[in-house]
Each structure stands twice: as C-alpha cells, then as structure tokens.
A and B are shown apart, each in its own frame.
Chain A
Amino acid sequence: MKKILKISTIFAFGMLLIATNSFALEKRSKRKPKGKPEVLAPYTGPGAELYQQYPKEMRVLRYAVSNSREVQSNKFSKQFQNALFNSYVAQADRILNTRDYRSLSPRDREEAQFSKSALEKLELEEDRVDELSDRVRGHLTRLESRVFRIRRRVSLELISWQSEATLVGPFENTGLLTTNLGFCPGFGVSYENRFWALSADFNGIYGTGGVSAVQGLVTYQQSNVPAFGAKMAFGAAKVVASSGSELGIRGSVLFIKQNLTEPPTSGYSIEQDKALTATLSLFSRWRLGRYYFQTDFGRHIGRSATIYSFGLGYIL
C-alpha cells in the first residue's frame, strides 16, 4: 500500500501543476504573438469596394484601429463615412442571416469587427453601431457554440476495482473478493460543441490487488496479485460550464486478466469471474485550459462490485 501514498503524492503535485500551468498559459496567451504579422485573405464581401474607392482613408483607419490611435473625424469626407456605415450594416446583416458559423470566413468576421471599430473611432451613429455590434457578437457566439469539433486527448488515471472469485472446497464454496488499485493510461477522442460532447476512450490497465478468505481449516491469502487489461468506453455528456467542464454517463467494456494461484491443498480450487465485463458509470471532466481532471464512478453490470477512477488529462 506504499504505492497509494506515492500515487497520492504524484497526484498532489499534478493538481498544483494544473493550477500553476493554467496561470502560465493564460499569461502566455496575453502576450502579443511574435513573428510575421498574419496575412489576411483578399476580402470580397460587403464593403470590399471601399478599399478601391477610398484607399487612403481605409489605410489611415486600419492603422488607427490596429495601433489604438485616435482619429479626427472631420478629416474624413461625409460621403466616405456614410459608405463605411452602410458597409457595416451590410456586413452585420450578412452575419445575422447566417445559420452556419463555418460559412463565414475569418476574414468576414475580421472585416465586420474592423468596420465597427472604425465607426467607433469616427464616433459615427454610435447608438446604432453599439446595438448592431451587440447583436452581431451575440449571434456569432451562438453560432460558434453550436459548432462540433473533434478533440483528441491523453490521460493518466488512478483506478480501483473489485473483482470476485470463488474458493471451491470439497464441502462448501466461499466467495473471494479482490480489491485492486492501479494505473490507467490512455487516449480519447471527443466530438463536442458548447453544449454536448460524445466521447470514446481507450485505456490500458495495470494494477495489483490482495485477497483473503478462510474456509474451514484452509486460509487462502494472496497479496500484490498483478492484473493487466484494457478498457474501451463510450460516453455522452452535457457541457456544464463555459470552461468546457462535462458531466455525463458512459458505458465501458473491460478486459482484465488477473490470475489467482490455485490453493496447494488438495480438493480446493479457484473459480474466477470472466475477464470480460461491462460497466455503466457517471463521469465528469473539469477543464482548465488544455488540462483537465476526470472522475468516473460506476458499477459492473450484473455484479455488485464498484469501479472508479480519477486522474489528469491533456487535450492535444
């Protein structure tokens, strides 16, 4: 059982690592990206003609928006300002009439954002721009939240399960219970959006367990019996927080091989449960950036024994 202490210590450091790493990740994400500036694809949507008709004005506004500089609106013709406003209305209208987030290119979204920022710099139709931009932002958030994405991840969990066997004697049979503790490394795939997640996970299992029973004059005891196996799990979950935390149920198929030694006393033998079992469990994933903490708590179908696991994962 010294192992459980080591495991707990590793786990403790893991949790502290998560907290400090998320801090580092967020800090990093606030830094300006290094290297060459991003080259945007040519824009062909509403307002694209402004780049031909008013190249100088557009250049000045682009510079002011990207460098957070002030502009004097009286240096821009009324005609240009009206054209810019009309193009923003057309861009917003196009976005608001879109039902599929993927039908909008990043450039479409960027251009609408630029038009809105440019109009704010020019202090033109402020109330109408604010109202429109709120609607656009809300609509984009709703559309994006419905988009399903595939995520791949790796995990390492601590797993514990109980397995049953029978000590068959000449006069009676005695139930044997093995309590196992081990590790469960694996990988998984999720198909998820902001509301729902479907997942498939594949894990290897290694653990050890002890067993003891007394039947008449015979005492059967074994400790540190190794167990090897694999687990395949399919789950469905509800995403419950904007961080992406999930709660759900899943069904798993486990194959675990653990050979209990036959008793040396003649007339006695061991009958073990099938190595292949199915389980139904409640599971949760608590996401912090690319790291997550996972718990799984379930029961073997058709048996009374419980199986649970918890551990850390990383989204690739």
Chain B
Amino acid sequence: MRKLIPLLLIMIFTPLKESKAYPQFIGHGYPSCLNCHYNPMGNGPLTDYGRAVGATGIASRMFYPSSWSEEKIGDSSGFLFRKPKQEVARTQLNYRGLQMVQAFGTSNAKSSWINMQGSGQLILKFLNDDRLIMVGEIGYNPPSPQARAANQNQKILRSREHYVGYRFNPEFGVYAGFMDKAYGIRVAEHIALSRVYTDNTQNDQTHGVMIHGLAGGFEGALHAFFGSMFQSADIRQKGVSLQLEREVNNDHRIGFSFLNSKNDYIGVTSYGAHSRISLNDGSALMFEFGQNHRNAKSGSGSRISRYGLLQTFSKATQGLYLIANIDYGKTDLSQESSVLRWGPGIQFFPIQKVELRADLYNSRVFNENSTSLDSWMLLLQTHIWL
C-alpha cells in the first residue's frame, strides 16, 4: 500500500489536461446516455452537448484562468478545442493507454504498457435536431497476448462501430449497423466480469438493428443482431438482446437485461438485473447481478456462469472521483471456485478531454478445497480525446 501512495499522487498532480459520459454520471443528473452520446445506450462519440457537459460540469477547473466563463469553456469543447463552424460533420480522436502492474507489491511485479484504444470517429448529422445520424469509428486493435506470443498477424485496424440512426421523435429511434449489444450497465471496464461473461467486451460489437425508446419513466432498447460480418459465418452469434430501465424518483434507475444468441457451435443466454442510484453531487452507486448460460452443441463447454458488479463513485471535488469497484464471478456454477475482485480507485479529469485513472485490484479465489494467495494488480490509465 505504501508503494501505491506516490503513484496515486503522481497520477493526481501530473500536469495534463475531460470526460467520457459514463453510466455513473447519473449522479450528475444524467440518467440517460442519450443526453451526451449519439448511441442512446452510451459508449462511442459524444454529442456537442455531451462534450460541453464534460468540459464544464465534469472536468476540473484548476487549469483554467478564473476569468474563463462556463460558456467559454463549453465553446472550447469541440474538436481540437474549437467551436464547430458547421452543423453537419463532427470528428473526434480517442486514445486510451494503460500501465498494468501485475503481482503489484511483490518481488514478482511485472509492468507493461498497453495501448488499449486509438481511434478516429466521424459523425454526420442531418435534419432538424440531428434526427438522422451516421456514425463511424475506426480503431487500433492491439494484438492479443496469445497472438503476440504465437507471432500471428492480427489486423491492426478495425471498425469499432459504424451505424445509421434515425429518431422519429425524441422518444423513439431506430439504429442499424455495427455496434455494441444493448445489455446491462455499459461500464468502462471491459475486464468487468459482467461484460466478459456476457460477451460484451471491447471487441464484441455486432451487426444488427436496434430500436430505442423512452416513455412513461421507462427507457429501453431491443436489439436484433446477426453477428459480426467480419467473422466467418459459422461463429457469428445471431440473436436478440433487450435492456430496459425504469426511472425511480427522477434520480435512480432500476432495470434488467436479456440476451439470447447462437452460432453453429454454441447457444448463449444471459440475463441480469441492475440498478444505478444517484447519490447527488456527482456521486453514484451502481449494481448489476446476472447469469450466463452457454450450451455447446458438442456438449463440452456448456456451463452456467454468475456475475455481480458493484461500483461506487464519490465526487471528492470537481473533476476528482473516488471509486470502489467490487467484481464477483463464478465461471461455472458446477465448480467450487469463485472469484471476488475488489479495489479502490481514483478517476481524475484534470481538464477537459483528459481522464486519468488509477485502480488497484485485489483478486481472491474462494474454493473450499484449496487456498491461494490474493493477487494484486495496479492499473494506471490515461485517456485523451480531442
């Protein structure tokens, strides 16, 4: 722990310069992702409004002259800090890098830098109130450790998403193309077991059609998909997913998700309940709990997994959030072992377009028949977008 403190201080005081709209921003009074993202289920490029909120309401003001008004800061939230001069096209660039220290705090500690994300986004907007949008994102695809070890060639660039969306009215829209599946809470941590078990990690986008609606305190999306066309036909997961949330007391959301899909080898069914609770002043508590069933046609590989996620975010001051992250998973209910990954973290937006984050993870395996030492991992993340 003593070794961690200087690292956290460096993270806090490194003079870098906002923010992605995350689901925990319900604590800022933004229960719906639609306010800040072109994709109504979150993730992907930010709208002009989302960028301005990030610059003025989320990021710290410590590096701005006190003479800068909120409006001036908001005007500088566009691409390359400029106010857009036209209404049709928007571009964004995104980079996310990670310093990962495995076995942190031990003599076997191993540190490595991972370029997790490097992408360019183009958004075309037409009609009044941007009712028709076209979104494309080309991103760097870091080779997997397995591919690297086997010296395999892996495509360096890939489409992260490309879709067309049309909103008939503010309450109802249809989106078609390549995008993330509508399921659960879309937390930023793609290693969260709620995302890993349900096949909703950073490379699990799918081609399909999604309808999104808001009515009577409900918000939800129904997504019919037919797999990634970049994969061979036999492994494409075709199916349907649903995510539905109910607004409770204007501030909180409770919801559930369902997903059913199959390819030539395996059928997958996932379901879960979740809750996003606003604690006011930018603080929030999020919870998700669910199960995943895998039915392999060959028989081997069939299993039922269970996951749980609990995240608390506390706004210490503007731009700085303190995090507690609890991630639970049992890969196979028929087996003894389960894992609980737990850790504190700091998320800091020192200036608009920059996010720094430090997370310490302690992983503990529970198994009545064997014991093992906890493993520790430190993740230092830098996220910049222009």
Contact = CB atoms under 8 A, between A and B. Distances in A.
A192 B65 CA distance: 36
A4 B366 contact: yes
Contact of A210 (B279, B315, B322, B367): B367
A160 B322 contact: no
A241 B366 contact: no
Interface stretch (A12-20, A68-76, A108-116, A261-269): A12-20
A286 B371 CA distance: 32
A27 interface: yes
Nearest to B247: A23
A95 interface: no
Contacts of A26: 249
A16 B308 CA distance: 13
B337 A16 contact: no
B328 A286 contact: no
Nearest to B312: A286
Contacts of B314: 240-241, 245, 247, 284, 286
A289 to B, nearest CB: 10
Given A1-B338, A16-B254, A288-B279, A212 B249 contact: no
Contact of A20 (B254, B282, B310, B333): B254
Specify which of B277, B289, B371 lies most central, judged by the most chain A CB atoms within 10 Å of its CB: B371
Interface string A239-271: 011110101000000000000000000000000
A99 to B, nearest CB: 26
Interface in B295-350: 306, 308, 310, 312, 314-316, 322, 324, 326, 328, 330, 333, 336-338, 340, 342-344
Contact of A179 (B252, B326, B343, B365): B365
A247 B283 CA distance: 12
B229 interface: no
A141 interface: no
Interface residues of A, number: 48
A265 to B, nearest CB: 20
Nearest to B280: A243
Contacts of B273: 12, 16
B280 A210 contact: no
Contacts of A224: 368
A223 B369 contact: yes
Interface string B351-386: 000000000001011111111111000000000000
Contacts of A18: 277
Interface string A168-201: 0000000011110100000000000000000000
Contacts of A12: 273, 287, 289, 308
Contacts of B56: none
B248 interface: yes
Contacts of A287: 279
A241 B330 contact: no
A245 B306 contact: no
Contacts, number: 139
B326 A295 contact: yes
Nearest to B323: A284
B249 A241 contact: no
A221 B362 CA distance: 25
Contacts of B60: none
Nearest to B362: A306
Interface string A156-175: 00001010000000000000
Contacts of A160: 340, 364, 366
B119 interface: no
B374 A293 contact: no
Interface in A37-81: none
A288 to B, nearest CB: 6
B275 interface: yes
A177 B312 contact: no
A154 B70 CA distance: 44
Given A27-B249, A293-B312, A241 B283 contact: yes
B149 interface: no
Contacts of A314: none
B336 A1 contact: yes
Nearest to B279: A243
A160 B339 CA distance: 12
A215 interface: no
A299 interface: yes
Contacts of A210: 367-371
A240 B322 contact: yes
A27 B249 CA distance: 8
B285 interface: yes
A297 B371 contact: no
A162 B372 CA distance: 10
Contacts of A85: none
B371 A178 contact: yes
A315 interface: no
Contacts of B285: 286, 288, 293
B344 A297 contact: yes
A233 B369 CA distance: 32
A26 B282 CA distance: 19
A209 B282 CA distance: 39
Given A20-B254, A308-B342, A212 B280 contact: no
A1 B337 contact: yes
A293 B372 CA distance: 29
A271 to B, nearest CB: 17
Interface of B: 1, 248-249, 252, 254, 273, 275, 277, 279-283, 285, 287, 289, 306, 308, 310, 312, 314-316, 322, 324, 326, 328, 330, 333, 336-338, 340, 342-344, 362, 364-374
Given A284-B314, A286-B314, A297-B343, 12 more contacts: A4-B366, A5-B306, A12-B287, A16-B254, A20-B254, A22-B249, A22-B252, A241-B315, A243-B280, A247-B314, A295-B312, A299-B1
Interface of A: 1, 4-5, 8-9, 11-12, 15-16, 18-20, 22-23, 26-27, 160, 162, 176-179, 181, 209-212, 221, 223-224, 240-243, 245, 247, 282, 284, 286-288, 293, 295, 297, 299, 306, 308, 310
The 8 A-B pairs with the shortest beta carbon distances in the complex, nearest first, are A223-B368, A12-B289, A210-B368, A23-B249, A241-B281, A15-B287, A241-B283, A23-B248
12 contacts: A4-B338, A8-B306, A18-B277, A19-B252, A160-B340, A160-B364, A179-B366, A210-B367, A212-B369, A241-B314, A243-B283, A284-B312
